[in-house]
Structure 1
Amino acid sequence: MLETVIVGGGLCGLSLAVALQAQGRSFALYEARPRLGGRVLSVPSEKAGMRLDLGPTWYWPDTQPGMTKLVADLGLITFPQNDSGSVLRLHDHDKKAVPTEVESVHGGARRVEGGMASVIEALAAKIPADTIHLGQALTVVIDRGDHVELHFRVGETVNIIEARRVVLALPPRIVEEHVRFEPSLDENLVAAMQDTYTWMAGEAKGVIAYDKPGWREAGQSGNAFVTHEQAVFGEIFDACDATGTRAALGGFLALAPALRASFKAGLPMLMGNQMGQVFGPEYEHGEQHYQDWAAEEFTATRHDQIRPDDHPHYGNPFLRQVLWDGKLFLGGSETATYAGGYMEGALDSARRLARDVGRFAPTVVVPLQPGKEGISNVESVAQFAQWVAGRQNSVLETYRLTLNKLMASPDKEIVTQRAMVATVEQVFSEALFQLEQIPFDMQGVMVEKGRSDLTPQILKSFDGFIQFLLDAVIQYNRTSCALSNFPGEDKPSKDYLQAILRDIAAAWKEFCLSVNAYFVSKTPVLAAS
């Protein structure tokens, strides 16, 4: 019988597999598609001589430490997204695009040479090939008491697998629509699954390769926004390689899923016409690559055909429950407490799953690493406390940047509350990531009634942190000219502050549990090598 089955071969599932491999735990990974990667998809272009991303394209080092460390650890080459030059805006379908001032559209984003699929391929290379099973779609999960029974559809046949536990590293809506559970899941959990939009599931993306990037020679960045009612691409960006010699433009389609389906035969012509109208007639014809994620069986559900106006708020705690006495776990980017929907969120979820699986899986005998015998936990705790103190110095700037993004988004309700909670969630995610980089000597660490004696020492580092942030936010809001246009935000009422503190308290509780889960999962019986 298998120990742990991971369902889903996207970034979350593969990252968890690598973590379990490093912990010396046995596992098997099952993926419904004939390829790994999930929404990560890089396709070869003959004209451009490179791979083009039809799924995730960017990560942001300033706010995504997990992705930053991952690409470095994998030895991948990255480069900045080109934002140099003017931005074009087309507001009228009968007129030409108008250049506007130079601006940073992508906010310091970076790309991976070879496409984001390079990340997937490098992770897959870290686990045994015989642990990966493609073309197997999960349909049924049954609680058998001391194990789970899994039914996978493989063509016209059914493959039945037994495992001690299963991790569903899939979008929650896909799980709810495609998988039957015996016994049925709690109705609150099912509602949370249905309410959680699968990021990019209702979107389509096109990338067109050209002989050369003439827009750069014309002083343009390749960024463009088309806002008239007949727009095909709503947002366009430069998709060239790091050298700028392999030319491509990418764009997100403005058409809704139903319109894309009805216009399917004519879309290539419409996309070419749009590029030609924005950048010039020479860009009407190129080598086109197109991906409609709303038409993907294992990405989009019936609920995902309505696209949100802004990035949804993820992190419903129901989706992070440990179910069936530690035999069933839910994962995927949409379950993350921080950066939900992004690749960083997939890594955040994978780290949480590694902690949770470690709490319920059998103890692994881990030899001491050479050179780690003299580690002092006092020094390690102090190192973490030093990081927290440094992070406190920059937390107001994190809040300010988050607030500015929210004020520029279509949804401008309770922006102070949302910015505060998002800031705290980011800090807690970074703190868990930082904690995992610090060596601790787990010999002699005690776990009593489920709590590690290291947990309170780590949590003490945050004494006064939240109050500092709250005081700084109140002072900042009172002096912010921009917030003066948002009644009730510049001077939050007592009830408003109480609502903020309730949300922060919930985030703090989950952070405390995650810290403890990490130490409990890291407290095996150690054997000196």
Structure 2
Amino acid sequence: MPDTIIVGGGLCGLALAQSLQERGRDFTLYEARERMGGRIFSERCRRNNLAVDLGPTWFWPDTQPRVTRMISGLGLDTFAQHDQGDTLRLNTTDEKPEVMALTEVHGGARRVVGGMGRLVTAMTAQLPVDRLHLGHTLLSVEEDDDHVILSFRHNAGAVQVHARHAVLALPPRLLEEHVRFDPPLNASLREAMRATHTWMADQAKVVVAYDQAFWRESGQSGNAFVTHEQVVLPEIFDACDATGEQAALGAFFSLPPAFRVTIPPATMALLISSQLVQVFDLPAEDGEQHVHDWAQEAYTCSTLDRTPPSTHPEYGNPNLRLPLWENKLFFGGSETAGYGGGYLEGALESAARIQRALVPDPISRGPEALNGPAGNTACITLFGTWVTAQQPDLLATYRRHLNQYLARQHKEQLTQRALLDTLEQFYSEALRQLSELPFDTRGTGVHKGRSALTPEVHAPFATVHQTLIREVLAFNHSSCALSNFPEEHAPGKEYLSTIARDLAAAWREFALSSNAILLAKAGYGTDRQRAG
């Protein structure tokens, strides 16, 4: 019986498998598709041999440290998203596009040379082939004493496997809709699963390959926003390779899933071509189109996901982050992330959370100075020094998040989103630091599920919220970029109260997780409800 079964071969599942492999732990990974990667999907163009990304394209080093470290550690080359040149906006169908006053649309985004699919290829190559099983669709999960039983459909037959732990690195809505749980999940958990939108599930994306990047030759960036009532592709971007010699434009669709599925492929190709010609003129007509509609992906899109959300989705619901069935069952995937939900960063944050629960980092057997109570004191000091050193940079991180939202044309809750992103990123990195420190907490007291060291770990954060909010409000008030957003330029009491509630929830999540790390290092169970 394997120790851990991972269901889902997307980035979260692969990252967790890799971390278990590095720690010498037994695992098996099952994926429903006939390929690894999940929503990471690159396709090769016949016209110019360019690998185009039809799923995730970008990562942001300034605000996404986990994926940045992983890409670097795998030795993959990267390049900056091309934003140089004029950005266009087309407001009507019968006029030429106008030039926008934007110099950087993608906020420091980078891409992987050869496509994001190379990340999947590199990770898969590090895993034993006999532990990876494609074409297995999860049907049910059952608790049985000290293990779990998972049933899969495979080649028109049924496969049943047993393991001590199961990690479901799949979109929560898909699990709620298609997988049977015995004993059944409680009503509040099922509601949290239904309420969690699957990132990209309602989206479709097209990349069109050309012989040359004619827009660059005309002084254009390739970025364009289309706002007229007949819009098909509201957001267009340069999708060339690092050199610009393998040319392509990428775009997202505005048409809702229910309408897209009614359009014949030939008609859709004509609509795409016509839209690109409206923006970039006749040279854009003759391209090789690659379209991928994620709403038609059975292993991505649930029934609920076919109705696009009216606001930006919220992720990291605490109910989806708690282990179930006495630490035998875990939910993973980017939608469960406390930070970076929906993005590649969130998938890695989720994998790290589960790894900490399954395999706490070993207690150090290093120098005597780091053993026992004296070693714990040294670890507390090191951690406090790290926290203190990060605080002066939090405002700069907030500004980077804010600029990304502005660049993507977001107009609501800018301060709230950027502040929450900043602190969740900070807490995510703090948990990583804490888990890597060589605490020896086996003799440390525990009272009502709380480690005696937890208050000392939390102490350096005492003034973080207040200081950062004060700095953010001062910056907002002096920011020219926010002068057109009165609620952000000078937030009112109600808005500030909403922000405070969000930040308090983020702190509680960190407090529970950090306590769980200390308990795990002492050999206690990882159910964070004990620390409430």
> What's the TM-score once normalised by structure 2's chain length?
0.89
The separation in 1 between residues aligned to 2:359 and 2:455, in whole angstroms, is 20
The separation in 2 between residues aligned to 1:427 and 1:298, in whole angstroms, is 32
Q: Which amino acid aligns with 1:66?
A: R
The residue number in structure 2 matching 1:424 is 423
The separation in 2 between residues aligned to 1:484 and 1:99, in whole angstroms, is 20
Q: Residue 6 in 1 paired to residue 6 in 2?
A: yes
Change in Cα spacing, 1:447 to 1:30, as seen in structure 2 (3 Å) is farther
User: 1:81-480 alignment to 2 at 5 Å?
Assistant: 81-265=81-265, 266-358=267-359, 378-402=377-401, 416-436=415-435, 438-440=436-438, 442=440, 446=444, 448=446, 451-452=450-451, 454-476=453-475
CA offset at residue 461 of structure 1?
2.3
Asked if the contact 2:414/2:488 (under 8 Å) is kept, the reply is no
The separation in 1 between residues aligned to 2:304 and 2:291, in whole angstroms, is 22
The separation in 2 between residues aligned to 1:144 and 1:433, in whole angstroms, is 33
Deviations 1:499-518 (A, max 9, x none): 54443333222212222333
Asked if the contact 2:233/2:253 (under 8 Å) is kept, the reply is yes
Q: Which amino acid aligns with 1:297?
A: A
The separation in 2 between residues aligned to 1:496 and 1:92, in whole angstroms, is 35
Deviations 1:18-54 (A, max 9, x none): 1111222111101000000000000111222231100
Q: Which amino acid aligns with 2:430?
A: A
Change in Cα spacing, 1:485 to 1:107, as seen in structure 2 (3 Å) is closer
Q: Which amino acid aligns with 1:63?
A: T
The separation in 2 between residues aligned to 1:395 and 1:486, in whole angstroms, is 23
Asked if the contact 2:63/2:400 (under 8 Å) is kept, the reply is no
CA offset at residue 283 of structure 1?
1.9
1:322 aligned counterpart, secondary structure? coil
Change in Cα spacing, 1:372 to 1:133, as seen in structure 2 (3 Å) is farther
Deviations 1:236-292 (A, max 9, x none): 111111111111111111211122111132112221222222222122122211100
CA offset at residue 109 of structure 1?
0.1
1:223 aligned counterpart, secondary structure? strand
Asked if the contact 1:332/1:349 (under 8 Å) is kept, the reply is yes
The separation in 2 between residues aligned to 1:373 and 1:109, in whole angstroms, is 44
CA offset at residue 417 of structure 1?
4.5
The separation in 1 between residues aligned to 2:495 and 2:47, in whole angstroms, is 56
Change in Cα spacing, 1:460 to 1:165, as seen in structure 2 (3 Å) is same
Q: Residue 71 in 1 paired to residue 71 in 2?
A: yes
Q: Residue 508 in 1 paired to residue 504 in 2?
A: no
1:2 aligned counterpart, secondary structure? coil
Aligned residues: 517
Asked if the contact 1:41/1:117 (under 8 Å) is kept, the reply is yes
2:234 aligned counterpart, secondary structure? strand
Asked if the contact 1:414/1:489 (under 8 Å) is kept, the reply is no
The separation in 2 between residues aligned to 1:40 and 1:147, in whole angstroms, is 31
CA offset at residue 416 of structure 1?
4.7
CA offset at residue 439 of structure 1?
4.5
The residue number in structure 2 matching 1:27 is 27
Stretch of structure 1 that moved more, 155-164 or 461-470: 461-470
Change in Cα spacing, 1:272 to 1:445, as seen in structure 2 (3 Å) is farther
Change in Cα spacing, 1:232 to 1:34, as seen in structure 2 (3 Å) is same
The separation in 1 between residues aligned to 2:302 and 2:332, in whole angstroms, is 17
Stretch of structure 1 that moved more, 404-413 or 186-195: 404-413
Asked if the contact 2:165/2:329 (under 8 Å) is kept, the reply is yes
Q: Which amino acid aligns with 1:262?
A: T
Q: Which amino acid aligns with 2:91?
A: H
Asked if the contact 1:90/1:226 (under 8 Å) is kept, the reply is yes
Q: Which amino acid aligns with 1:131?
A: R
Change in Cα spacing, 1:443 to 1:520, as seen in structure 2 (3 Å) is closer
Change in Cα spacing, 1:67 to 1:491, as seen in structure 2 (3 Å) is closer
1:297 aligned counterpart, secondary structure? coil
The separation in 2 between residues aligned to 1:214 and 1:412, in whole angstroms, is 32
The separation in 1 between residues aligned to 2:126 and 2:488, in whole angstroms, is 52
1:72 aligned counterpart, secondary structure? helix
Stretch of structure 1 that moved more, 396-405 or 349-358: 396-405
Change in Cα spacing, 1:246 to 1:403, as seen in structure 2 (3 Å) is closer
The residue number in structure 1 matching 2:37 is 37
The separation in 2 between residues aligned to 1:414 and 1:508, in whole angstroms, is 19
Deviations 1:89-125 (A, max 9, x none): 2211223323334520100000001111111111112
Q: Which amino acid aligns with 1:394?
A: D
Q: Which amino acid aligns with 1:321?
A: L
The separation in 1 between residues aligned to 2:314 and 2:357, in whole angstroms, is 23
Deviations 1:482-513 (A, max 9, x none): 469646972543x7655544433332222122
The separation in 1 between residues aligned to 2:260 and 2:241, in whole angstroms, is 28
The separation in 1 between residues aligned to 2:404 and 2:64, in whole angstroms, is 16
Deviations 1:375-428 (A, max 9, x none): 555554434323322321122333345456667888866655454433322221
The separation in 2 between residues aligned to 1:406 and 1:84, in whole angstroms, is 19
Deviations 1:138-163 (A, max 9, x none): 01111112211111011311101111
Asked if the contact 1:338/1:426 (under 8 Å) is kept, the reply is yes
The separation in 2 between residues aligned to 1:214 and 1:414, in whole angstroms, is 37
The separation in 2 between residues aligned to 1:6 and 1:144, in whole angstroms, is 18
The separation in 2 between residues aligned to 1:219 and 1:259, in whole angstroms, is 35
Asked if the contact 1:209/1:249 (under 8 Å) is kept, the reply is yes
The separation in 1 between residues aligned to 2:205 and 2:412, in whole angstroms, is 30
Change in Cα spacing, 1:407 to 1:57, as seen in structure 2 (3 Å) is closer
Q: Identity rate of aligned residues, in percent?
A: 49
> What's the TM-score once normalised by structure 1's chain length?
0.90
Deviations 1:40-91 (A, max 9, x none): 0001112222311000000000100001111111111011000011112221
Deviations 1:439-477 (A, max 9, x none): 426486747465555544332222322232233345445
Asked if the contact 1:74/1:122 (under 8 Å) is kept, the reply is yes
1:514 aligned counterpart, secondary structure? helix
Q: Unpaired segments of 5 or more residues in structure 2?
A: 525-532
Q: Which amino acid aligns with 1:138?
A: L
The separation in 2 between residues aligned to 1:430 and 1:161, in whole angstroms, is 35
Asked if the contact 1:202/1:305 (under 8 Å) is kept, the reply is yes
Stretch of structure 1 that moved more, 403-412 or 243-252: 403-412
The separation in 2 between residues aligned to 1:138 and 1:491, in whole angstroms, is 47
